[in-house]
Amino acid sequence: MRIYKFAVLGTGFWSGYQLAGWNELKNVKPIAFYNRSLDKAKALALKHDVEFVYDNVDELLDQHAAELDFVDIITDVNTHAIFTKKAAARGVNVICQKPMSPSWETSLAMVETCKAANVQFYIHENFRFQAPVRKLKEILEYGIIGKIFKANVAFCSGFPVFDNQPFLKDLEQFIITDIGSHVLDISRFLFGEAESLYCHTARINPDIRGEDVANVLLRMKNGISCFVEMSYATIAEQESFPQTLISVEGEKGTIQLLHNYMIKITTRKGTVITTADPKPYPWMDPEYAVVHSSIVDCNRNILDSIMGKKHAETTGKDNLETMRLVQAAYQSARENKVIHF
């Protein structure tokens, strides 16, 4: 069995889960870690039996590019483009965490740089791989609720997100890049591409720099009106973090993805209930269960593409369309106008 070798760039909060996700796939192995503070890289390297650690990305790539099948970039958003360019220049395939970059122009340049260097470029966009979202898509494709005219995709939470990821507090653009990149991607996955978009934002938490509420109304090319809401200022009777709750209305019925992965299908004949629990893994943090579980499926999809077995869903080129929506949402909120694509 061929073992695919990779390097991890960035060994912070998320990389432990990302690595655990890779460990579930038997034909892949990390061989080198980079982190700007070497101690963190060393600690994670010990856990994963990785020999080489660096606090300089160029050094890592110069030493190992020839044996690497890909790099997995798990650093903060501002370094994504720089590290992508460095890997592409050495002919190494790139997987990069969402959001791809802070601007549309930079994201486009990343895709073009990888294309010109003839390396594969993927975004680790995992929300669309969540078990309940996949199940919802499958049910929609059966056509039980007929032609869809309206949808609501909601990630509204009061979870103390800054405890685990304090850097999110300092982002000038917070919730639409952090969560919007996921839920706008889910909207594309379920309902296709958008024709126009209008967005309102607000900052409720006075201790953060960016917006923590955003309401985005999309008109999809197929006519569906899709309301995408996100908030980290929501105090709800039942906390939904980290689930995305979805409601889809069609001419023959409604499908709802509710708390605890429950799916309700209502037609004029009545309501049927089913569930779509995420596959459990021992390393998952129960507070992030559905997200952590989807890391494995997202990684598998990307690895299959690197192995030449099938096309990946979340290529850089595909994710550019999600980035287009993210940046259009900011523009719409700033200028208080509808953005037409």
Of 18, 268, 250, give the one whose Cα is nearest residue 136: 250
Minimum CB distance to ligand 89Y, residue 85 (Å): 23
Q: Widest CA span of the chain, in angstroms?
A: 65
Which one, of 277, 214, 281, lies nearest residue 17 by Cα?
281
Among 7, 291, 298, 339, interactor with ligand 89Y by CB under 6 A: 291
Q: Quick check: 316 and 305 in contact, CB under 8 A?
A: no
Q: How many residues belong to the site for ligand 89Y (CB under 6 A)?
A: 6
Nearest distance in Å: CB 323, ligand 89Y = 15
Tokens found for residue 43: 């600690």
CB of 151 to ligand 89Y, least distance (A): 21
80-99: contacts with ligand 89Y (CB under 6 A) = none
CB of 242 to ligand 89Y, least distance (A): 5
CA–CA separation, 104 and 107 (whole Å): 5
Q: Which is nearer to ligand 89Y, 161 or 289 (CB)?
A: 161
**Residue 94 Cβ vs ligand 89Y, minimum distance, rounded to whole Å:** 18
Q: Is 178 in the site for ligand 89Y (CB under 6 A)?
A: yes
Q: Which is nearer to ligand 89Y, 30 or 242 (CB)?
A: 242
At 239 the three-state DSSP class reads: coil
- Kindly state the smallest distance separating residue 271's Cβ from ligand 89Y, in Å: 30
220 or 323: CB nearest ligand 89Y: 323
> How many Å apart are CA 198 and CA 340, to the nearest integer?
9
User: Position 130: which residue type?
Assistant: Q
Token pair of 81 as six digits? 């483009």
Q: Among residues 89 and 245, whose Cβ is nearest to ligand 89Y? A: 245
CA distance 31 to 82: 21
First-to-final CA distance of the chain = 46
Residue 122 tokens read as 């993927």
For residue 297, state whether it binds ligand 89Y (rule: CB under 6 A). Answer: no
What single-letter amino acid sits at 254? T
Q: Give the x-and-dash track for 11-40 against ligand 89Y (CB under 6 A).
A: ------------------------------
* N residues, the chain: 341
- Region class of 283: left (phi > 0), else alpha (psi between -120 and 50), else beta: alpha
Q: Nearer to ligand 89Y by C-beta: 180 or 316?
A: 180
Contact 100, 36 (CB under 8 A): no
State in angstroms the smallest separation of the CB of 178 from ligand 89Y.
5
Give min distance, CB of 159 to ligand 89Y, in A. 8
x-marked contacts with ligand 89Y along 142-171 as a string, rule CB under 6 A: -------------------x---x------
What string of DSSP letters covers 113-130?
HHHHTT--EEEE--GGGS
Query: Which one, 12 or 36, has the nearer CB to ligand 89Y?
Result: 12
Q: Is 179 in the site for ligand 89Y (CB under 6 A)?
A: yes
- Build a one-symbol-per-residue string for 219-248: x at contacts with ligand 89Y by CB under 6 A, - elsewhere: -----------------------x------
Residue reference for tokens 């979340």: 314
DSSP state, residue 284: -
> Would you tell me which residues interact with ligand 89Y (CB under 6 A)?
161, 165, 178-179, 242, 291
